[in-house]
Amino acid sequence: MTVLAADVVAKVVRSAGQAPSLHNSQPWRWVFGGDHLDLYAVPERMLPTTDPTGRQMLLSCGITLGHLRTALTAAGWRTTVAYCPDPNRRTHAATVRFARHPSVTDDERDRAEAIRERYTDRLPMRPPTGWADFEKVLRSTFDPADAVLDVVPEAGRAVLAHASSLTAAVRYRDAEYQSELMWWTGIADPDAGIPESALLSADERARVPLGRTFPLTEHRPRRTALPDAATVLVLSTDSDRRADLLRGGEVLSTVLLECTVAGYATCVLTHLTEYPRSRDIVRDLIGDTALPQALIRVGRAAPDSDREPRTPRLALGQILHITG
């Protein structure tokens, strides 16, 4: 039986906990059983109005699963995953088993380091220079059977802006959604949610027309007069089945970390896939039979700008349980 040391488990689960999630809800829990790690979705952290089916909860679990596997690889362990191993327990997302593999490449170490460096950048971005070459490399880092990645053409940005405004208009009239949004951005929990310092001003939000409509804030001007020129990606899966969402989340983890290694800033957008009509608009735009799960803005932060502050994270004891 291959057993991980407790300090390795703590380190890789902390890394997994850095994964982005809907409103930073962090809807996951890891259980360590000596020779394996079990990943469970935590419905109590699900947002019932924003994510009524739990689709984004599972996508988030896939991202944390991808981060964990990346961290284990850099620590010298190869992993195998059983997805949704217990059909009678729908919250049991995955079981991860591992075997010692001490040969670690610089690329694998860089990707694990990117977990610490990655952050969500909601501000306007400069174009991602060198994108054409990077895109070829990026597509080689994941199995296209797990997810489809489309690049939105420049002409499609107006269509996405329309879909974003349509979603915002529908959500504006949804009192339960607004209440949920205010809770997660006003936040009663200091270890979750989106802090006020990460919100945008009216001017900043106007220059990122694809962004989710969060409450506005006032602060010193940032990236003034910079229109958003980020490249927009759409990540899709074959279906909304649990295993497909988990695999799609793993691919999203890979995309975010590879972009970070390349020096790009990123921002995951899911509001365009929450409302059925806007999701259909995105699907029609990319002309794919797969189902859009998330959009990713990729670009470069202005060289003289400050990074947005990191969002808080749950303590290790809240996301890891060790049995035996």
Q: Would 6-118+311-322 and 131-299 be classified into the same CATH topology?
A: yes
Domain ranges within the chain, ordered by starting residue: 6-118+311-322, 131-299
Global pTM reads 0.96
* Contacts of 142 by beta carbon, 8 Å cutoff, 6+ apart: 149, 250, 251, 254, 255
- Say what the pLDDT of residue 299 is: 97
Token pair belonging to 313: 């994270």
Q: To which CATH superfamily is domain 6-118+311-322 assigned?
A: NADH Oxidase (3.40.109.10)
The whole-angstrom separation of Cα 211 and Cα 267 is: 9
CB 100 within 8 A of CB 285: no
Q: What whole-number percentage of the chain has pLDDT above 90? A: 84
The whole-angstrom separation of Cα 259 and Cα 265 is: 7
Look at the domain 131-299 and name its fold. Answer: NADH Oxidase (3.40.109)
CB 39 within 8 A of CB 65: yes
What's the mean pLDDT in 143-166?
95
Burial of 225 (0-12, 13-18, 19+ CB in 10 A): exposed
Between CA 276 and CA 253, with CA 118 as vertex, the angle to 5 degrees is 50
Output the average pLDDT for the chain: 93
